[in-house]
Amino acid sequence: MKNSVLFLENVKFERGAALNLRTNMDERLSDFINFHDVTLEGGELLVRISDNSTVPKYVKTPLFVLPASAEFAEVRLIKPLEIAGVSYALKKDKKIEDYMLFLCRASLS
């Protein structure tokens, strides 16, 4: 089961502030946040992911949704997530109507 939070009002991120999320790639669990409206000072959103998994069983898991108005913002991990030698990156998956879905996805070479 994942924790899900829905923000209907505007959420403002100050420059340098981080969105902290937890994942479990052993079980494909994660916190999931849906932002209907967001203000990103400096046009960036930093994301910190905590994961205590030992085996990277899953390639990807959804993390959060941003409104399409943030489409050109710089959204990035503070530091890469690595589990048993597998690196995960933050990826913008798709734009659905007025929203964009972001995933934690294994970087496959």
* pLDDT digits 0-9 by tens, 52-106: 888 888 888 889 999 998 888 999 999 989 998 899 999 998 788 889 999 999 9
Contact 34, 61 (CB under 8 A): no
Cα(68)–Cα(43) distance, integer angstroms? 13
Give the other-Cβ count within 10 Å of 6's Cβ.
10
Model pLDDT, residue 108 = 65
Cα(14)–Cα(19) distance, integer angstroms? 11
- The pTM for the full model equals 0.86
Cα(22)–Cα(41) distance, integer angstroms? 24
Q: What angle do CA 69, 70, 76 make, to 5 degrees?
A: 170
1, pLDDT greater than 50: no
* CA atoms within a 13 Å half-sphere pointing along the CA-CB vector of 57: 10
Which residue's entry shows tokens 């489409």? 71
